[in-house]
């Protein structure tokens, strides 16, 4: 079957979202389908282009008018899909419901195509807390039209446990894993009586790393035989570092408890550099603040990457793929500081085998997840 995977933005070599999209496309191809990937790019000359694979199907030009056109002119997508006799369209929502995206889906449907739309995070409104007025304006437009858009698609793909979203039935899948892109942890020798924790994220308030830092502060209020270090890999905005209306920030706790020697901010790391720090750490930190966005059930990519690496980890949301796994420590979904002594007791309770952890999730490949999407849509 010919499938068009449509995303409204471009791809970046090191972006986790981009890696996910490429893995989904590969998962569809592994199921025997012919897949076209439609993206949007800005080239080195500032030309704004709609691309399918490596071919430009529309050049919007440069400047303000080009920015406007790329948001509202989708005729090239419709023409391409019809010319190539596409049978199935997979749209990755950019929370951009509006009259033009509604028209796009209507045109694709009228040409006889099945259309599903993935909503990467649901519900998502509170993720915009603290955003600029321009971004909030886009969200407001989305709120006005998203039920109408949902009505037009065949189904909505979700990683939540919602049976319906915006009035439309869902296909519930898990975030998948591209095992070929994630090496298993090869632990390196380290000093005795040291435990190294690792949190990898482009840090937002819903990651709740401040809870872990406050927990470390309380842990070090007395002399400790086991030294615990926390490594944060990824960008940290000022709001998360110093605090804002959504979270207390990192620095206030670091300074209050005088624990700067135990916290490392590494910035962004990729490839072998990222593999190296995974090998040097013992335990991983997932999201600890999803309740701040009103989400308590979600299937995050990060949990899956940690498991694929073969490292035990902690998180606070509900993730039905991992909640009962023996290598997972569940934190309460509230604002209490993380209990470091409890974390250490859990970590030292057994010997951890990276291959056993990784092998427990082989069913979460993108090939299996995308096969579910096709199967559930075609049977309509």
pTM comes to: 0.81
CA distance 142 to 96: 5
* Tokens encoding 327: 């290598």
* Tokens encoding 379: 């049977």
Taking Cα atoms as reference points, which of 72, 188, 169 lies closest to residue 116?
A: 169
The C-alpha angle with vertex 63 and arms to 61 and 64, in degrees rounded to 5, equals: 115
Q: Which CATH fold topology does 180-363 show?
A: Rossmann fold (3.40.50)
* Tokens encoding 331: 């934190």
pLDDT attached to residue 312: 98
On whether the 2-176+365-378 domain is CATH 2.60.40.1220, my answer is no
In a structure prediction context, what are the per-residue pLDDT tens digits for the chain, which is 380 residues long? 999 999 999 898 778 889 899 999 999 999 999 999 999 999 999 999 999 999 999 999 999 898 888 888 999 999 999 999 999 999 999 999 999 999 999 999 999 999 999 999 898 998 888 888 888 999 999 999 999 999 999 999 999 989 999 999 999 999 999 898 899 999 998 888 999 999 999 999 999 999 999 999 999 999 999 999 999 999 998 889 999 988 899 999 999 999 999 999 999 999 999 999 999 999 999 999 999 998 888 899 999 999 999 999 999 999 999 999 999 999 999 999 999 999 999 999 999 999 999 999 999 999 999 999 999 998 76
Taking Cα atoms as reference points, which of 265, 251, 330 lies closest to residue 291?
A: 330
Taking Cα atoms as reference points, which of 247, 212, 175 lies closest to residue 338?
A: 212
pLDDT attached to residue 207: 96
> Under a CB-based contact definition with an 8 Å cutoff, are residues 320 and 274 in contact?
no
Q: Residue 8, SS3?
A: coil
CA distance 6 to 77: 9
pLDDT attached to residue 193: 93
Residues of the chain with CATH 3.40.50.2000: 2-176+365-378, 180-363
Q: Residue 370, SS3?
A: helix
58 by Cβ neighbours in 10 Å (0-12 / 13-18 / 19+) ranks as buried
């Amino acid at each position: 079957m010919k499938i068009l995977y449509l995303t409204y933005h471009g791809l970046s070599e090191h972006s986790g979202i981009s890696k996910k999209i490429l893995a989904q496309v590969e998962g569809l191809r592994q199921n025997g389908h012919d897949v076209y990937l439609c993206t949007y790019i800005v080239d080195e000359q500032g030309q704004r282009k709609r691309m399918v694979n490596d071919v430009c199907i529309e050049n919007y030009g440069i400047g303000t008018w080009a920015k406007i056109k790329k948001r509202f002119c989708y005729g090239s997508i419709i023409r391409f899909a019809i010319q190539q006799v596409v049978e199935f369209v997979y749209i990755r929502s950019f929370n951009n419901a509006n009259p033009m995206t509604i028209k796009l889906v209507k045109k694709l449907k009228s040409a006889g195509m099945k259309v599903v739309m993935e909503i990467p995070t649901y519900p998502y409104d509170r993720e915009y807390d603290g955003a600029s007025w321009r971004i909030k304006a886009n969200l407001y437009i989305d709120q006005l039209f998203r039920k109408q858009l949902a009505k037009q698609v065949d189904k909505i793909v979700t990683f939540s446990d919602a049976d319906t979203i915006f009035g439309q039935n869902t296909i519930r899948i898990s975030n998948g894993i591209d095992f070929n892109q994630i090496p298993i942890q090869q632990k390196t020798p380290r000093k005795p009586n040291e435990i190294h924790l690792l949190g990898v994220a482009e840090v937002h308030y819903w990651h709740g790393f401040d809870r872990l830092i406050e927990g470390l502060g309380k842990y070090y209020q007395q002399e400790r035989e086991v030294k615990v270090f926390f490594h944060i890999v990824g960008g940290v905005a000022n709001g998360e570092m110093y605090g804002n209306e959504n979270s207390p920030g990192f620095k206030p706790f670091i300074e209050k408890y005088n624990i700067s020697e135990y916290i490392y901010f590494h910035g962004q790391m990729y490839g072998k550099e990222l593999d190296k720090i995974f090998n040097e750490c013992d335990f991983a930190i997932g999201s600890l603040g999803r309740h701040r966005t009103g989400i308590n059930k979600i299937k995050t990519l990060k949990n899956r990457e940690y498991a694929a690496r073969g490292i035990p980890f902690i998180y606070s949301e509900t993730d039905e793929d991992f909640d009962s796994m023996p290598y997972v420590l569940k934190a309460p979904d509230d604002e209490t500081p993380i209990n470091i002594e409890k974390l250490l007791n859990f970590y030292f309770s057994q010997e951890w085998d990276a291959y056993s952890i990784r092998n427990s999730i082989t069913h979460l490949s993108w090939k299996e997840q995308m096969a579910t999407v096709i199967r559930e849509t075609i049977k309509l």
